[in-house]
A and B are shown apart, each in its own frame.
Chain A
Amino acid sequence: MANNPQDIDTGSWLRPAGILPPLLAGALFVWFATMIPPIAALDTLRFVWNWVPSLGINLSFFIDGLSLTFSLLISGIGILVFLYASKYMQGHVHFARFMLFIVLFMLSMLGLVLADNLLTLFVFWELTTITSYLLIGFEHTISKARRNALQALLVTGTGGLALLAGFILIGTVAETFELSEIRAQGSVLIDSTLYLPILILFLAGTFTKSAQFPMHFWLPNAMAAPTPVSAYLHSATMVKAGIYLMARMHPSLGGTEVWLWTLTVFGAVTAVFASVLALKQTDLKQALAYTTLMALGTLTLFLAGDVSYAITAAMTFLLVHCFYKAALFLVVGIIDHETGTRDIHMLGGLARAMPVTCLAAGLAALSMAGFPPFLGFIGKELKYAGALAMQSEPYLVAGAVLVSNALMFAVAGIVSFSPFWRRHLAEGLTAHEAPWQMLAGPLILAACGAVFGIYPSLAAEILVNPGVVAIAGSDVKTHELKLWEGINPPLILSLATFVLGVLIYNFHRRLREWITGVAQHLISFDRGWDQVLEGLKGFAIWQTQIVQSGYLRRYLFLIFFTLSIGLAGMIWWRGPILPTLEWPMLLVKHWVVIVLIVAGSMLTLTTSSRVAAIAGLGAAGIGVALIFIIFGAPDVAITQLLVDTLVVVLFASAALKLPFLEPTGRKLRRPLDAILALSVGTIISLIMLIVTDGPVDRSLTTYFEEASWTEAFGRNIVNVILVDFRALDTFGEIAVVVIAALGAYAILKGRQTA
């Protein structure tokens, strides 16, 4: 079992790799905590460093209620998860690597929520995708883990590309990439004609990242990662990145009919669909994964409108979900770690063996099920209040929320009641309590749900209200979080939830069979994904067989054919300007060059000896070099001569291995080649004539001639351009040269050993 690294137990958790990550997260958490007072007073902070100022890309960071709430959650949960992981992954061969990846993820995620510049944000967004890929595929010897990691990478990566396109559109419309400036512009994006494309691209990015239906399938598969990763990335933080971004752009993109209905429909469908499927799962981790989907759907749903109740509900539920879901994932990790299974059918009676784990699970589950006095109860009440206040179909939304909440209630029971209190453990399994490092996380997180539930004003002041103001604007009335609001529609709906939840829990086994039966007849998105990939691969193979024949001749033919078509098209498009031809005065040296080139080419064309052909080409090359000398470009001429020499040497050493020159295959080939060669020659000549016919813009040449000596202290303009004015280009070129040489070397040497 990949999740059981204890059989190779070496080293203590008190190693740098084990102890530094929680300390780092702790330091960050404290740092963010010092920012609570100004942010709670609805102030904002901004840090800016120039990065690529010419493109408007800055390393700018913006801290307001929304980003601070996320930062506190990311660093705070980070402490607990890292501590947990230091014990959970202890003794794993790649322990340090795991810790490195997960810390990198935390830093990327913090960068994502703090970034003020859209492009900076995008860089961090992609970094979270990459670290997520590395972590899902961490057990890289298991093919399923690799496959699921790749799936997550491709789905979220594709969304990321759409998002980048959306960001660029936003940047062109708003003429800035700074989020704070875009927000200050009000409804510029909404009034723009590009609003719809921007919204589609933007939502494509956020929906894939936050696993909205129908792009949800990667999230349950991401559970192939070690449990700390599932708790941290795939429930508490990374999957919320899309939610964060939708909340962040809510003032700039939200408030329209399209936004309202798209988010309502996708959110509601995801929430209900996922909570029904959650009931079907028998793997504890999978069940939790589907409830995470449900939570993401609900959050999307509540970000649809711009009524303050809905936004408050979203922010509160975000908190609630982070606390109980991370706690429950960690609990499942403990169960898995200590008993060796996550199968519901195998587990039971764990309460006696693992009392502390049981306590943490119980607290978290009560919050999840929405019992008072937990924060989950307040969250649920607010959800109902928010649903009833929605501008879209309030009853439909409330219905969706009711169904998904009741199902959550049942899943909470399945995940944290059944394994501990029901039946007995399957035979052959033993259970014992986890070490304190693994218990701290779930206990503290679950306790947070209770503490904030009992003192809701604490959560409201520090975390919820500044966030709500950041999303909806400071003129919005924030709602006090209360446990008891009197008898009102939300309370009645809450009671209905409990009744429905208990019913579902009691009949969940029969329901599971029924859902499993129905689900077999439905389309599986996961399998669909595989088919799409297979199709893509098939297409790639098909087109490779056509384009990449493996014959150098055919490649050359294709390259020159494309070149001539493109150039001819350009000439035709520009209008056929016939250059004025004037027979120039030819001196003897010109004649020598002409004869050299023509004779060399003719020899190459007619000879049947390879050596003669090469010599002919060399002669033509020397002729070209002479042209450069005659027209005053000695550098180019020297280079041409040297390259020609080296090509002959290279060719001489390769010639022995080459097949015979005699044409094989079809008879038509030679005439075809001749036609192509003639047309390329004619077209290039035509273009040269057209170019030299018109007046030549010499401003660049003049600039280099003047600046070369005064600015770069060099008289050889060609060289000064190469190493000074255009040094970056040269740098790129030598990089290509090195890579090409190493590549060729690897191919040649690799063949020798093989």
Chain B
Amino acid sequence: MKSIILLAATRLVMALLLIFSVFMLLRGHNTPGGGFIGGLIGTTGFIIYAISRGTLMARKALRIPPERIAMAGFAIALFAALIPAFLGDGFFVGQWIFIGGTETEKGLPISSVLVFDIGVYLVVMGSILTLCLALEEEVD
């Protein structure tokens, strides 16, 4: 499908969607968002790209095959689940570090929960892209 409007728009929209997806992923713990939603938004970005320029270009833009992204995400989620086990806590118990935290200020929270959410993000994105790209290519 050749449409100059679509081609021009996707460049912008895709970038925006990807940034927005990361934004949604990071804010998820306190406000609507999270890995699942972030992953879906990121997927939408790539799918729009694939629709306007073809799946080959989309795969190039991804750099890594989507099924590998999904599996990597799964591995990251598993790793996040194991972090507390290495620290002597139960499986999946959230671990938190507050960087620069003082008595009054909370600081920057980093947690195994966030790592897990990143894993979810990658799984959702990788899996759905695997499906969509394969389906599109099937049709072509």
Which residues of B lie under 8 Å from residue A741 when comparing CB positions? 67, 70, 126-128, 130-131
Interface pair A639/B36, CB less than 8 Å apart: yes
B28 touching A716, Cβ below 8 Å: yes
Q: Is A558 an interface residue (CB 8 A)?
A: no
The answer, among A650, A719, A738, for a CB contact under 8 Å with B29, is A719
In the complex, A434→B135 CA distance in Å? 62
On whether the beta carbons of A646 and B132 are closer than 8 Å, the reply is yes
In the docked arrangement, what's the CA distance between A197 and B137, Å?
58
In the complex the two chains form, is B92's CB within 8 Å of A742's CB?
A: no
Partner of B134 from A643, A724, A748 at Cβ < 8 Å: A748
Contact stretch, chosen from B6-14, B56-64, B71-79: B71-79
Report how far A243 CA is from B15 CA in the complex, Å.
69
Residue of A nearest to B111 (CB): A713
CA distance A654 to B43 in the complex (A): 17
- Whether B67 contacts A752 by the Cβ 8 Å rule is no
Query: Would B124 and A720 count as touching, CB distance under 8 A?
Result: no
B139 engages A656 (CB within 8 Å): yes
Q: Which of B28, B47, B124 is the one whose CB lies under 8 Å from A734?
A: B124
Assess the A738–B123 pair: CB atoms within 8 A. Answer: yes
Residue pair B138, A714 in contact (C-beta under 8 Å): no
**In the bound complex, what is the Cα–Cα distance between A377 and B87 (angstroms)?**
60
B123 in contact with A638 (CB, 8 Å): no
Q: Is the CB of B31 within 8 A of A646?
A: no
Contacting chain B: which of A118-126, A423-431, A725-733? A725-733
Determine if A654 and B40 form an interchain contact, defined as CB atoms under 8 angstroms apart.
Answer: no
Interface: A635 (CB within 8 A): yes
- Determine whether the beta carbon of B29 is less than 8 Å from that of A716: yes
A744 within 8 A of B: yes
Contact A649 B47, beta carbon cutoff 8 Å: yes
A734 to B75, CA, bound (A): 11
Count of chain A residues with Cβ under 8 Å from any Cβ of B? 42
Chain A binding surface SS class: helix
Cβ–Cβ contact B92 & A722, under 8 A: no
- A653 interface residue per 8 A CB criterion: yes
Docked pose: A730 CA to B119 CA in angstroms: 11
A649, A724, A737, A744: the one within 8 Å of B123 (CB): A737
Give Cα A657–Cα B135 distance, bound, in whole angstroms: 10
At the interface, is chain B mostly helix, strand, loop or mixed? helix
Beta-carbon contacts under 8 Å, B12-49 to A: 28-37, 40-41, 43-44, 47
**Within 8 Å CB of A642, what residues of B?**
37, 40-41, 44
**For residue B41, which residue of chain A has the nearest CB?**
A642
B123: shortest Cβ distance to chain A, in Å?
A: 4
Give A621 Cβ to nearest chain B Cβ, in Å. 14
Of A643, A727, A734, which contacts B73 at CB under 8 A? A734
Cβ-based interface call for B54 (8 A): no
The interface centre, meaning the residue of A639, A642, A656, A715 with most chain B CB atoms within 10 A of its CB, is A642
Closest to A726 in B: B92
- Give the complex CA separation of A748 and B120 in angstroms: 24
Query: CA–CA, A650 to B138, complex, Å?
Result: 12
- Which residues of chain B have a CB within 8 Å of any CB of chain A? 28-37, 40-41, 43-44, 47, 51, 67, 70-71, 73-74, 77-78, 81, 91-92, 94, 96, 109, 111, 113, 116-117, 119-120, 123-124, 126-128, 130-132, 134-139
Q: A730-B120, A731-B81, A741-B126 are in contact. List 10 more A-B contacts (CB 8 A).
A: A653-B135, A713-B111, A715-B29, A716-B28, A716-B32, A723-B35, A723-B113, A723-B120, A745-B134, A749-B134
30 contacts across the A-B interface (CB closer than 8 A): A635-B32, A638-B33, A642-B40, A646-B44, A646-B47, A650-B135, A657-B138, A713-B29, A713-B111, A715-B30, A716-B34, A718-B32, A722-B120, A723-B28, A723-B29, A728-B91, A730-B116, A731-B78, A734-B119, A734-B123, A734-B124, A737-B123, A738-B73, A741-B67, A742-B70, A745-B131, A748-B135, A749-B134, A752-B137, A752-B138
